[in-house]
Amino acid sequence: MRSLGVCYYPEHWNDNRWPVDLRQMQSLGIRYVRVGEFAWSRFEPAPGKLNFGWLQHFLDLAGSEQIKVIVGTPTATPPKWLVDSMPDMLALDENGLPLQFGSRRHYCFSHEGYRNECRRIVIQLTEAVGNHPSLFGWQIDNEFGCHGTALSYSTAARGRFQQWLQKRYQDVVSLNEAWGNVFWSMEYRNFAEIELPNRTPTDPNPAHRLDFQRFSSDMIVEFMQLQIELLRRLSPGRLITHNFMGQSTGFDHFAAGRELDFASWDMYPLGFLASVPLFSDEHRLHYLRSGDPDYGSLHHDLYRACGRGRWWIMEQQPGPVNWAPYNPAPFPGMVRFWALEAFAHGAEVVSFFRWRQAPFAQEQHHAGLQLPNGEPDAGSAEVAQLSGELPILADEKLGRGDVALVFDYEACWTIEIQPQSKQFTYPEEVFRFYRAIRQRGLDVDIVPQDADLTGYRLIVVPSLPIVRPEFLEGLRRTSGTVLFGPRLGAKTENFQIPAKLPPGPIQELMPLRVIRVDSLPLFAPQKVRWGERTYTAHKWIEHVDTDLEPIVRYEDGRGALFRCERFLYLTGLPDDQWLNAIIETLITEQKISITDLPLGVRTRCLGSLRFFFNYNPHPVQLESIEDLEVLVGDYKLPPAGVLIGRDTRRTP
502-521 residues in contact with ligand GAL (CB under 6 A) are none
Beta strands 601-606 and 609-614 are antiparallel
- Say if CB 414 and CB 210 are below 8 A apart: yes
Q: Angle 295-306/426-438 helices, nearest 10 degrees?
A: 100
Site string for ligand GAL, 320-349 (x = CB under 6 A): -x-x--------------------------
- Say if CB 247 and CB 427 are below 8 A apart: yes
Beta strands 572-574 and 609-614 are unpaired
Cα 163 from chain centre: 29
Residue 365 one-letter amino acid? H
Catalytic annotation on 549? no
Shortest Cβ 140–ligand GAL spacing (Å): 13
Q: Number of residues in contact with ligand GAL, rule: CB under 6 A?
A: 11
142 binds ligand GAL, rule: CB under 6 A: yes
Q: Angle 53-64/112-129 helices, nearest 10 degrees?
A: 50
Q: Which is nearer to ligand GAL, 71 or 321 (CB)?
A: 321
Shortest Cβ 309–ligand GAL spacing (Å): 24
Cα 76 from chain centre: 19
Residue 87 one-letter amino acid? P
Shortest Cβ 36–ligand GAL spacing (Å): 12
Part in contact with ligand GAL (CB under 6 A); list of ranges 139-147, 188-196, 230-238, 538-546: 139-147
What is the C-alpha to C-alpha distance for residues 219 and 109, in angstroms, rounded to an integer? 6
73-132 residues in contact with ligand GAL (CB under 6 A) are none
241, β-bridge pairs: 139
Three-state SS sequence of 114-177: HHHHHHHHHHHHHHHHCCCCCEEEEECCCCCCHHHCCCCCCHHHHHHHHHHHHHHHCCHHHHHH
Q: Which is nearer to ligand GAL, 99 or 207 (CB)?
A: 99
Q: Which is nearer to ligand GAL, 298 or 483 (CB)?
A: 298
567, β-bridge pairs: 482, 564
Shortest Cβ 315–ligand GAL spacing (Å): 6
Shortest Cβ 98–ligand GAL spacing (Å): 22
- Say if CB 482 and CB 464 are below 8 A apart: no
Q: Which is nearer to ligand GAL, 329 or 599 (CB)?
A: 329
Q: Which residues 6+ apart lie within 8 Å of 64 measured at CB?
A: 19, 22
Catalytic residue among 315, 382, 396, 429: 315
Catalytic annotation on 315? yes
243-272 residues in contact with ligand GAL (CB under 6 A) are 266, 268
Shortest Cβ 189–ligand GAL spacing (Å): 44
640 binds ligand GAL, rule: CB under 6 A: no
Shortest Cβ 266–ligand GAL spacing (Å): 5
Shortest Cβ 602–ligand GAL spacing (Å): 24
Pick the binder of ligand GAL from 21, 44, 65, 143 (CB under 6 A): 143
Pick the binder of ligand GAL from 315, 348, 402, 408 (CB under 6 A): 315
Q: Which residues 6+ apart lie within 8 Å of 39 measured at CB?
A: 9, 11, 55, 74, 77
Measured at the alpha carbon of residue 391, what is the angle toward residues 66 and 337, in degrees to the nearest 5? 100
353-412 residues in contact with ligand GAL (CB under 6 A) are 353, 363, 366
Catalytic residue among 37, 44, 143, 429: 143
Q: Which is nearer to ligand GAL, 266 or 301 (CB)?
A: 266
Part in contact with ligand GAL (CB under 6 A); list of ranges 138-146, 251-259, 471-479, 640-648: 138-146
Q: Where are the beta strands (DSSP E) in 163-289?
A: 239-241, 243-244, 263-267
Q: Which is nearer to ligand GAL, 268 or 433 (CB)?
A: 268
Q: Which is nearer to ligand GAL, 351 or 608 (CB)?
A: 351
* Dihedral sign of CA atoms 621, 622, 625, 631 in order: negative
Pick the binder of ligand GAL from 89, 129, 146, 488 (CB under 6 A): 146
Angstrom CA distances, 274 to 254, 280, 332, 419, 427, stand at 27, 10, 19, 25, 16
Part in contact with ligand GAL (CB under 6 A); list of ranges 141-149, 540-548, 587-595, 598-606: 141-149
612, β-bridge pairs: 603, 643
Q: Which is nearer to ligand GAL, 265 or 287 (CB)?
A: 265
Residues that bind ligand GAL (CB under 6 A): 142-143, 146, 266, 268, 315, 321, 323, 353, 363, 366
Catalytic residue numbers read: 143, 315
